[in-house]
């Protein structure tokens, strides 16, 4: 799953390979300068396309860490 997540981050935030490799389950928005409130919206759409899920608009604000994203995907039936 982490590789699929990294691919979503790379597309949404136009990250280079070294930045992508540093993303892991403990990464939060504070660790990634490119993760802004604007790129966050693109990230949500990329995640929805990649994992075939739909996030409620109201839960978007709470998905500011990889851990929260993994939990939210698990709640929607997506397993690692």
Quick one: which of 14, 37, 74, 76 contacts other proteins (CB under 8 A)?
37
Q: Quote the least distance from Cβ 27 to other proteins, whole Å.
A: 10
36 binds other proteins (CB under 8 A): yes
Quick one: which of 1, 10, 64, 78 contacts other proteins (CB under 8 A)?
64
* HEC assignment per residue over 12-64: HHCCCHHHHHCCCCCCEHHHCCCCCHHHHHHHHHHHHHHHCCCCCHHHHHHCC
Give φ, ψ of 65 to 5 degrees.
-150, 155
Q: Which residues bind other proteins (CB under 8 A)?
A: 28-30, 35-38, 40-42, 44-45, 55, 57-58, 60-65, 67-68
């Amino acid at each position: 799953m982490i590789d699929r997540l990294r691919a979503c981050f790379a597309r949404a935030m136009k990250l280079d390979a070294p930045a992508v490799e540093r993303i892991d389950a403990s990464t939060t928005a504070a660790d990634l300068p490119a993760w802004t409130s604007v790129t966050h919206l693109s990230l949500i759409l990329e995640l929805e396309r990649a994992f075939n899920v739909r996030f409620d608009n109201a839960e978007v604000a709470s998905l500011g860490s990889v851990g929260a994203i993994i939990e939210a995907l698990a709640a929607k039936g997506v397993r690692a």
